[in-house]
């Protein structure tokens, strides 16, 4: 925001002084005065009565002696630097020192300073009389001038916003950022993803000579998933069967553990891969063994009987049971991000829930199920989720 306005700041070139003499200089000065702003702003960029309602009191105070300008060049002297700036009102260049320049701090300040800079003697007379100086512009021409001025102002404001957002994006400033992490849970999810699609990918994209390598990869992934499933069962708390039958069955702390439904189908999905181990004995993993993916693909397409075709399609249906592992990991991830690591968005009150948003008061009600309240005898008890939700519903009804 270029510094204070005075008559000495109205520039003219030395050539005009030599060629046109004193009269040319005087005409040039008068022309620049007519193009100079009539509404100077304060150091924050706001004219009198132009600051937003509810903003800082400093935005409503003077002195009002500044005009919007853009730094065109930076010059360096022996012990200081100065700038060549382009004024937004007269569109001329002049020198500016750092001590009488103030930076803009917001888009609203830029818009206000730009509107103030465009309020000149010429523009005021044109809007009041509909004239271009010669008395000939009225009606449509006056309307075109106003539209053009608004378009120019909007373009300049949009250009500044784009530059600011681009700089934030390139330097990773808020709200932009990129973070990458890889944990043990991510590794297990990758194994589940590979186990779900590797048989289909092997049949569609790899030759028979690659079956041995693909089989080794699948066996390693299968072994990891078997160990992970075993650990999931072992980490379940004592009395888990009674816990899922109590009022805490749907609490987040209970839902983290693998239930019987997921356990059954994940065991079935892993058991259907056991017959493929026969290829390690014969060293021919591309052979059409009974109850193998190669045999099932041949039966589902060629048959020749309806029973064999049904068997082929049924085998590929069992391959879809492998999705249960991915669903379980997604459920645990959703519980973690919803109840343990809330992140309220800037749009007002929503909690990051990964496909399931919660309002803030609902989230607090659900999270209150883990609050421990002291009793009169210094004992502790945990309020159930049903009690908390029921209390909120009664309050909302009232």
Model confidence over 156-211: pLDDT tens digits? 889 888 998 988 888 878 888 777 888 888 899 999 999 999 988 888 888 888 88
Please provide residue 239's backbone torsions phi and psi, each rounded to the nearest 5 degrees: 70, 30
Give, as one character, the DSSP assignment of residue 69.
Answer: E
pLDDT for 268 equals 92
pLDDT for 284 equals 76
- Between CA 158 and CA 148 the distance in angstroms is 15
Residues in the chain: 398
Model confidence over 72-99: pLDDT tens digits? 888 877 677 888 888 888 788 888 887 8
Helix (H, G, I), strand (E, B) or coil at 37: strand
Say if residue 10's pLDDT is above 80. no
Block residue for tokens 């509404």: 39
Better-scored residue on pLDDT, 34 or 186 = 186
Highest mean pLDDT among 6-15, 142-151, 209-218: 209-218
Say if residue 223's pLDDT is above 90. yes
Q: Return the bridge partners of 374, or none.
A: 380
- Between CA 212 and CA 280 the distance in angstroms is 9
Element (H, E) at 262: helix 260-271
């Amino acid at each position: 925001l270029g510094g204070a306005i005075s008559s000495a700041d109205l520039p003219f070139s030395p050539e005009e002084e030599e060629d046109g003499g004193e009269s040319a200089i005087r005409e040039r000065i008068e022309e620049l005065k007519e193009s100079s702003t009539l509404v100077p702003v304060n150091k924050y960029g706001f004219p009198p009565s132009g600051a937003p309602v509810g903003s800082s009191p400093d935005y409503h105070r003077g002195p009002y002696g500044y005009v919007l300008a853009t730094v065109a060049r930076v010059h360096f002297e022996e012990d200081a630097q100065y700038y060549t700036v382009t004024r937004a009102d007269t569109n001329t260049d002049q020198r500016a020192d750092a001590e009488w320049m103030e930076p803009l701090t917001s888009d609203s300040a830029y818009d206000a300073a730009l509107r103030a800079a465009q309020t000149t003697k010429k523009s005021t007379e044109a809007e009041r009389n509909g004239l271009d100086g010669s008395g000939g512009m009225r009606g449509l021409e006056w309307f075109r001038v106003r539209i053009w001025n608004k378009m120019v102002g909007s373009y300049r404001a949009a250009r500044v916003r784009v530059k600011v957002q681009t700089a934030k994006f390139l330097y990773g400033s808020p709200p932009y950022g990129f973070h990458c992490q890889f944990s043990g849970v991510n590794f297990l999810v990758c194994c589940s993803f590979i186990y779900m699609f590797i048989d289909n990918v092997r049949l569609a994209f790899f030759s028979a000579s690659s079956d041995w390598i693909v089989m080794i990869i699948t066996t390693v992934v299968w072994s990891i998933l078997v160990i992970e499933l075993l650990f999931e069962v072992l980490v379940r708390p004592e009395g888990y069967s009674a816990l899922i039958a109590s009022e805490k069955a749907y609490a987040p702390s209970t839902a983290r553990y693998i239930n019987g439904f997921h356990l059954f189908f994940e065991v079935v999905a892993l058991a259907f891969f056991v017959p493929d181990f026969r290829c390690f004995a014969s060293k021919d993993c591309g052979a059409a063994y009974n109850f193998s993916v190669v045999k099932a693909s041949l039966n589902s397409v060629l048959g020749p009987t309806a029973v064999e075709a049904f068997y082929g399609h049924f085998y590929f249906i069992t391959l879809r049971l492998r999705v249960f592992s991915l669903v379980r990991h997604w459920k645990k991830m959703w519980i973690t991000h919803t109840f343990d690591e809330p992140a309220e968005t800037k749009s007002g009150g929503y909690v990051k829930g990964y496909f399931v948003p919660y309002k803030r008061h609902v989230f607090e009600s659900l999270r209150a199920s883990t609050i421990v309240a002291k009793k009169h005898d210094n004992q502790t008890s945990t309020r159930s989720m049903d009690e908390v939700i029921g209390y909120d519903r009664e309050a909302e009804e009232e």
